Structure formats: C-alpha cells, structure tokens
C-alpha cells in the first residue's frame, strides 16, 4: 500500500517554540487516522503542514510519494474541513460548495450539479440557496465537508471536526464520518484532543505531546499498552504507579499503568482508604489512597460501592498491570 | 455578602429597564432629531422656494423652478465637475488605502499596529488649512515636486502631463490634478480605517480555505478578500465621496478657478443671497449618495455584513 502522507524528520519551529519537533509519520491511503494530543502539542501544526499552510523548518513531507515539502496549498491533492468551518459568508451554500470548482474554471452547469450531489452526500439536499448564516452549527459543518469532498481529494483533513457540536450531534457525526470514510475509501486525517473520539473513530492514532509523537498504534494498542506515562495518563486517564509501588508488587523496578476500570475490590496486592466518590452517570469513580498515592477505580453503578473512609483491598486480573518501556515524559 | 446601601432610584431603574433606556436615549434623540436633522430639513425646504429676480427677496411659495435652474449649463457644469472629482478621489483613495489597510489588518501586530494607527491618525490632528497650504507649496511651480522632477531630469514628463487639457495647467497647484492630490491626501484616513475594520473581521482560516480549495492568491483576492472588504470600501467611499462633494476650501486654494458644489453653495447663500439655489445645490450630494447606496445595495455590496 502506498503511503498517502509521509513525514521524515519534520520540524516546525516558531522562534524558540518547537511546535513540531522531529516527527516521522506514515499514513496509509485508506486510513482513518487521528492526531491526538492536548492543546499546544503540535497536532494541529502537523495537519497544517500536510495542508500546506505551514512550511517545515526541517524535514520533508511527501504526499503519495511526491515531494510536497514546499508546495503551496493550492497545488496539493488534499482538502481541509476547518475547525471554524471557514464558510464564505458572501456566498450561498451551493456557491460555497462549488467554490473549488469555480476557481478551477469548471463551467456553471456541471459545477451546480456537482455541488448539489455533494450536498446530497451530506444530507443537505435543498439547502443550496441558503446563506451559511442561516444554518445551524451541525449543518455548517456538513457544508464544509461537502465543500472539501466535491474536490475529490486523495486525503481529507479535519481540524477538530466535532469540537463545536453538542454531545448528541457529535456522536451522530462520529458514526457518519466513519461511514463516509469507508464509502469513499480515501484517507481521513483528523485532529482531536478528545481521546474518546480518537479511539472510537480512528484505525490508527498518533499521540502527541510537546511537538513529538509519543506513540502510534491502533486504538487498542494505545489504550492497553501505552508506551509512555504521558500516553497512559492522556488516553483514558490511567493510574500511573510509581516504580517503588511496582517493585513492591511484582519485584521489578519500573513504572506501570493500570486502567481504573480493570480494578476490583477484591483480595489483591494493594490496600487503601476510600477518599472520594464521583457519580459519572453509568459508573462511579472512587479514589482510594494507597501508600500516599491516589488510585482511581471505576465501578459500574450496579456494583458494590464501598463507603467513604472504608479500608479496601484492590485487585486486578493478570495482565492488567502494564509495565511501560520508557519512564521519561 | 454585605448589603449595598439603599438607593431607591437605582432600584427603580433596575426594575424598569425601559425607563432607563428612555432616559439614556432621549437627549441624543432630541439632538439628532431636532437640532441636526431639523435644521437640515429647514434648509432643504428652502430649495422649494424661489427668489424674485428683481427685488432679490425670497418668494415663499412651493415651486420646482429653483431645481430647474440647476440644469442651466453653467450650474450643471458645476454638478458634473464635482461628481467627477468626488468619483476620482474615491477610486484613488480606495486603490491607495487597500494595501495599507490590508497590511494593518493581516500582518501588523503589537507595536506595528500602534505605529499604523498613529501614522493614519497623525495627519488628522494638524489643522486642515495648514495641510492644504502646505500642499499648495509642494505643488507650486517653485515647489519641491518641480525641483525633484528637475533634479531627476524628468521635467519633460511633468510638462507633457501638464499640457494635457482638462487635468493639466500652468503648474500642478493650479490644475485639477493638484486638487485631486490634495483631496486624496486629506480624506485618505477615512478610507483606510473602514477597510481595515472590514478586513480585520475576515478570519485567516477563510483565506486558507480558499487556497486549500485550489485558489491562487490572485483568485483569493478577487473572490474572497475583495467581496468581504466591500462593505468597508463602501463605508469609506461614503466619507470620501460626500466630503469631497461638500468641500469648498480645497478647490479654492488648489486648482483652477472653475467652481465645485461647495463653493457654489458658499457663494449663493453668502454674497449672492440666493438661499433657495444654495439649498438646491446642497440637495444634490444627498440625492447622489442616496442613488449610490441604493445601487451598491442592489449589487450585493452589503451581503457580507
């Protein structure tokens, strides 16, 4: 499979700030790929480097094997769905969608047909004559999607595509984007700070921190076998056990991650006092103080819930304690 | 929390916000409605009266005769000349102002933004008359501009330009070109600031989106930046156009002896004592601006607002 996007040693520095620092990355041609990280981690800059809005300070970027390091945005076979949608306020929905075809020089009639087809693809038939200001947030996003897809890009870039939508709409759009990607068979690269979104939608996830990639892998890999404490903490808010504690449990000195939902109140190596409860709807998060370290435990609402101040023992199934390769970060 | 001291007035206004609004807007409404618009309408009403040519007294009967006089060749020339000058100044100002405003809106930050505002506003702080007389000196035959052309051995270019009938003359300071340059200089800030404000509201992502969809920078300028800057250009043109149409000092100091509307109004209401004709002249800029704005609206200039 030809790689859609290849980063080789790419850095982007803004003065002293290393927004992206030595990133190597390969994204497959039919992949749903997530760039996940906290704000300021370099994920958005990476997306902008693919789109051509930024040029790398060092390194090379190629798109389908062709060097695109210094190609301007209008010469790249990629299109972007912007976080703020960036719809043109002076054009109606149809002209927004047909904008790329118009600047390419397509005639009016095929332009109109293609725009209406793209609008149908995102379930917005009949909205062509409206102004973007007359649409809801979710509808605007669909227009932005149609405007990018009408160009038949080889790679679609999405910058925090669901950030501005409310929870229900977000879940619905997650499913729709996934279906759309499978149907079109092109690569979708999306930026998000929401680990749930990245895990549920992406085929592969790259976790960013401080301009560097911490780990690239399938959602299962990133979640179950985090390579750094940062990944363990950021993806799913894992418990990170310090080396002392791990040594006492398994006799090996290394830090380890332990998922809150893997822990049960049963006979096990750790013992502590219940500090607090937090009701999360479907589950309850309990914080237990063990040897000066807070351990988060997630139990289903229907499960046994110890009261505050109770001394409990914590156990987990074999293999749940994940020893991390690296202890830095 | 400590209880605030009792204040019956504040409490009452809090309970009745409409009363507060009424108190706030009444003084400005009185000013705008009576003093400002009222006096304007009183002036306009004069244009429907006529002057008795023998006695020189005003005949207070409704007539359109005064408007008819506007179409007399000598008066109509004044109208055409003024509208042509105002149009030229507006187009010139828009062309000069746009790159400056674009730089300020897109690239200037922090200190450079302050420098921009200072640079644009500073000329407004000095006296209008001083500026106009300075320009007269710059443009005069013995002025710095002539000297510059001479030093560069380009006097023949200036002479060739000045020999063009209509826009030329004995020197720049007594030509229509001179009047145009001074108008352009004096009204430029009124064009720069609205365009800058309009461009400031265009998010950078919109320009990136245009490029992302395949538009070259020139296409982005034409299809995105200009349409979005248009409300600002129109706002600026309202200033430059109407200020030029009404001005009577610049054409008196710099330029030919042919009059513009402002000078005509000044003379008819002063020395000639023909208030109705002066009022009729004063109506022309209002009508022209009305037509201009209607056309602009119809052409979709305000769609991006």
Q: Best mutation site among A47, A48, A84, A90 for testing chain B: the one with the most B CBs within 10 Å? A: A90
Task: Classify residue A14: in a domain, yes or no.
Answer: yes
Q: Do A176 and A62 reside in the same domain of the chain?
A: yes
Query: Quick check: B223 contacting A, CB < 8 Å?
Result: yes
Residue B229: list chain A partners with CB under 8 A: none
Mean pLDDT of chain A: 90
Higher pLDDT, A254 or B82: B82
Q: Maximum Cα–Cα distance for chain A, whole Å?
A: 75
Backbone phi, then psi, for A63, in 5-degree steps? -115, 115
Q: Which of A74, A84, A148 is closest, CB to CB, to B215? A: A74
pLDDT band at residue B62 using 50, 70 and 90 as cut-offs:
confident
Query: Quick check: B300 contacting A, CB < 8 Å?
Result: yes
Q: Which domain range does residue A62 map to? A: 5-232
Q: Dihedral sign, CA of A64, A68, A73, A74? A: negative
- Whether B305 shows a pLDDT value over 70: the answer reads no
Question: CA-CA-CA-CA torsion for B147, B150, B156, B162, nearest 10 degrees?
Answer: 0
Which CATH number do you get for residue A136? 3.40.50.300
Task: Classify residue A130: in a domain, yes or no.
Answer: yes
- Whether A328 shows a pLDDT value over 80: the answer reads no
Mean pLDDT of chain B: 90
- pLDDT digits over A174-212, tens only? 889 999 999 999 999 999 998 888 998 999 999 999 999
d(CA B76, CA B63): 19
Of A211, A232, A253, which residue constitutes the final position of a domain? A232
d(CA A309, CA A189): 47
- Whether B224 shows a pLDDT value over 90: the answer reads yes
Of A207, A232, A257, which residue constitutes the final position of a domain? A232
Backbone phi, then psi, for B169, in 5-degree steps? 165, -170
Q: Do A185 and A227 reside in the same domain of the chain?
A: yes
Q: Which residue of B has its CA nearest to A103?
A: B215
Q: Dihedral sign, CA of B160, B163, B165, B168? A: positive
B60 C-beta neighbours (distance < 10 Å), count: 12
d(CA A224, CA A319): 10
Which CATH number do you get for residue A299? 2.40.50.140
Predicted TM-score (pTM) of the model is 0.82
Those residues with Cβ within 8 angstroms of residue A292's Cβ, 6 or more apart along the chain or in another chain: none
Distance from CA of A58 to the nearest CA of B (A): 22
d(CA A329, CA B107): 37
Distance from CA of B219 to the nearest CA of A (A): 7
pLDDT band at residue B304 using 50, 70 and 90 as cut-offs:
low
- pLDDT digits over A58-104, tens only? 999 999 999 999 999 999 999 999 999 999 999 999 999 999 999 99
Task: Give the model's pLDDT for residue B303.
Answer: 67
Q: Dihedral sign, CA of A104, A105, A108, A110? A: negative
Task: Classify residue A96: in a domain, yes or no.
Answer: yes
Task: Give the model's pLDDT for residue A329.
Answer: 37
B228 C-beta neighbours (distance < 10 Å), count: 21
Enumerate the β-bridge partners of residue A295.
Answer: A288
The three-class DSSP label of residue A263 is: coil
Task: Classify residue A329: in a domain, yes or no.
Answer: no
- pLDDT digits over A274-295, tens only? 988 888 888 889 999 888 888 8
Whether the CB-CB separation of A329 and A228 falls below 8 Å is answered with yes
Residue B213: list chain A partners with CB under 8 A: 74, 79, 99-100, 103, 147-148, 151
Q: Do A281 and A172 reside in the same domain of the chain?
A: no
The domain tally of chain A equals: 2
Q: Which of A53, A103, A151 is closest, CB to CB, to B223? A: A103
Q: Do A90 and A193 reside in the same domain of the chain?
A: yes
Q: Do A214 and A93 reside in the same domain of the chain?
A: yes
d(CA A14, CA A45): 11
Domains and CATH numbers, chain B: 8-46 (no CATH), 72-304 (1.10.3720.10)
Q: Do A46 and A135 reside in the same domain of the chain?
A: yes
- Whether B55 shows a pLDDT value over 60: the answer reads yes
Q: Do A85 and A187 reside in the same domain of the chain?
A: yes
- Whether B34 shows a pLDDT value over 90: the answer reads no
Residues of chain A in Cβ contact (below 8 Å) with chain B: 51-53, 72-74, 78-80, 82-84, 86, 88-90, 99-100, 102-104, 131, 147-148, 151
Size of interface A-B (CB pairs under 8 A): 69
Q: Which residue of A has its CA nearest to B302?
A: A90
Summarize chain A as % helix, strand, coil (round to 5): 30, 30, 40
pLDDT band at residue A1 using 50, 70 and 90 as cut-offs:
low
Q: Do A165 and A42 reside in the same domain of the chain?
A: yes
Residue A148: list chain B partners with CB under 8 A: 212-213
Whether the CB-CB separation of A35 and A189 falls below 8 Å is answered with yes
Whether the CB-CB separation of A210 and A300 falls below 8 Å is answered with no
Query: Quick check: B203 contacting A, CB < 8 Å?
Result: yes
Task: Give the model's pLDDT for residue A47.
Answer: 96
d(CA B46, CA B58): 9
Query: Quick check: B120 contacting A, CB < 8 Å?
Result: no
Q: Do A55 and A85 reside in the same domain of the chain?
A: yes
- Whether B77 shows a pLDDT value over 90: the answer reads yes
Task: Classify residue A296: in a domain, yes or no.
Answer: yes
Task: Classify residue A138: in a domain, yes or no.
Answer: yes
- The rounded percent of chain A whose pLDDT value lies above 70 is 98
Q: Which of A90, A131, A147 is closest, CB to CB, to B227? A: A90
d(CA A227, CA A212): 14
Distance from CA of B214 to the nearest CA of A (A): 4
- pLDDT digits over A138-178, tens only? 899 999 999 999 999 999 999 998 877 888 888 888 889 99
d(CA B176, CA B256): 6
Q: Do A175 and A277 reside in the same domain of the chain?
A: no
Task: Classify residue A309: in a domain, yes or no.
Answer: yes
| Long-range CB contacts for residues A225-229, cutoff 8 Å, separation at least 24 | A225/A322, A226/A257, A226/A322, A226/A324, A227/A324, A227/A325, A227/A326, A228/A324, A228/A325, A228/A326, A228/A328, A228/A329, A229/A255, A229/A257, A229/A324, A229/A327, A229/A329
In B27-53, which positions are buried (b, 16+ CB within 10 angstroms) versus exposed (e)?
Answer: eeeeeeeeeeeeeeeebeebbbbbbee
Q: Do A167 and A285 reside in the same domain of the chain?
A: no
B165 C-beta neighbours (distance < 10 Å), count: 6
pLDDT band at residue B1 using 50, 70 and 90 as cut-offs:
low
CB contact under 8 A, B209 and A88: yes
Closest CA to A152 of B275, B214, B91: B214
Among the residue ranges A251-255, B71-75, B145-149, B234-238, the one predicted with the least confidence is A251-255
Closest CA to A128 of A96, A87, A152, A173: A96
Closest CA to B283 of B64, B27, B137: B64
Whether the CB-CB separation of B241 and A100 falls below 8 Å is answered with no
Of A202, A217, A232, which residue constitutes the final position of a domain? A232
Distance from CA of B164 to the nearest CA of A (A): 42
Q: Do A260 and A122 reside in the same domain of the chain?
A: no
Among the residue ranges A14-28, A161-175, B181-195, the one predicted with the least confidence is A161-175
CA atoms within 13 A on the CB side of B6: 1
Q: What is the mean pLDDT of residues A310-322?
A: 86
Task: Classify residue A111: in a domain, yes or no.
Answer: yes
Look at strands A32-36 and A187-192 and give their pairing.
Answer: parallel
- The rounded percent of chain A whose pLDDT value lies above 90 is 59
Query: Quick check: B227 contacting A, CB < 8 Å?
Result: yes
């Amino acid at each position: 499979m030809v790689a859609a996007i290849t980063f080789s040693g790419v850095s982007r520095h803004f003065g002293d700030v290393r927004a992206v620092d030595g990133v190597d990355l390969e994204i497959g041609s039919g992949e749903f790929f997530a760039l996940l990280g906290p704000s300021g981690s370099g994920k958005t800059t990476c997306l902008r480097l693919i789109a051509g809005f930024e040029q790398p300070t060092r390194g090379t970027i190629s798109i389908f094997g062709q060097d695109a390091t210094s190609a301007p945005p209008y010469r790249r076979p990629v299109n972007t769905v912007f976080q703020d949608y960036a719809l043109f306020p002076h054009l109606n929905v149809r002209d927004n969608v047909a904008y790329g075809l118009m600047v390419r020089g397509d005639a009016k009639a095929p332009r109109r047909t293609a725009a209406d087809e793209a609008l149908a693809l995102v379930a917005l038939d009949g909205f062509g004559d409206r102004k973007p200001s007359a649409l809801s947030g979710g509808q605007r996003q669909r227009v932005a999607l149609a405007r990018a897809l009408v160009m038949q890009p080889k790679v679609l870039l999405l910058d925090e595509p669901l950030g501005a939508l409310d929870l229900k709409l977000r879940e619905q759009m997650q499913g729709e984007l996934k279906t759309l990607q499978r149907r079109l068979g092109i690569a979708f690269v999306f930026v998000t700070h929401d680990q749930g979104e990245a895990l549920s939608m992406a085929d592969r996830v790259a976790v960013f921190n401080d301009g560097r990639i911490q780990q690239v892998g399938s959602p299962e890999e990133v979640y179950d076998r985090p390579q750094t404490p940062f990944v363990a903490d950021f993806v799913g808010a894992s418990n990170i056990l310090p080396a002392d504690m791990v040594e006492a449990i398994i006799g090996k000195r290394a830090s380890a991650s332990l998922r809150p939902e893997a822990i049960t109140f049963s006979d096990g190596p750790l013992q502590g006092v219940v500090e607090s409860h937090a009701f999360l709807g479907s589950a309850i998060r309990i914080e237990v103080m063990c040897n000066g370290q807070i351990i988060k435990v997630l139990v289903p609402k229907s499960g046994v819930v110890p009261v505050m101040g109770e001394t409990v023992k914590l156990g987990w199934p074999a293999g749940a304690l994940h020893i991390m390769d690296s202890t830095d970060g | 929390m400590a209880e605030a001291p009792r204040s019956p007035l504040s409490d009452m206004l809090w309970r009745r916000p409409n009363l507060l609004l009424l108190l706030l807007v009444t003084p400005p409404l009185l000013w705008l409605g009576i003093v400002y618009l009222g006096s304007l309408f009183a002036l306009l009403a004069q244009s429907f009266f006529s002057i008795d040519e023998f006695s020189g007294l005003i005949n207070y009967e409704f007539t359109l005769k005064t408007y008819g006089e506007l179409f007399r060749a000598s008066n109509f020339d004044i109208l055409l000349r003024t509208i042509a000058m105002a149009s030229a100044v507006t187009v010139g100002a828009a062309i000069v102002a746009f790159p400056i405003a674009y730089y300020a809106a897109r690239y200037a930050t922090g200190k450079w933004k302050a420098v921009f505002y200072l640079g644009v506003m500073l000329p407004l702080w000095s006296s209008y008359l001083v500026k106009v007389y300075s320009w007269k000196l710059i443009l005069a035959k013995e002025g710095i501009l002539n000297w510059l052309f001479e030093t560069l051995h380009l006097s023949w270019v200036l002479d060739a330009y000045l020999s063009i009938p209509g826009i030329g003359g004995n020197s720049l300071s007594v030509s229509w070109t001179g009047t145009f340059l001074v108008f352009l200089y004096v009204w430029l800030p009124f064009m720069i600031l609205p365009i800058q404000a309009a461009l400031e509201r265009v998010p950078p992502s919109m320009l990136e989106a245009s490029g992302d969809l395949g538009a070259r920078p020139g296409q982005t300028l034409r299809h995105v930046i200009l349409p979005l800057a248009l409300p600002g250009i129109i706002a600026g043109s309202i200033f430059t156009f109407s200020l030029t149409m009404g001005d009577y000092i610049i054409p008196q100091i710099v330029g030919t002896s042919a009059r513009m509307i402002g000078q005509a109004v000044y003379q008819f209401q002063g020395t000639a004592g023909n208030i109705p004709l002066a009022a009729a002249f004063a109506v022309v800029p209002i009508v022209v601006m009305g037509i201009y704005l209607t056309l602009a609206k119809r052409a979709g200039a305000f769609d991006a607002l």
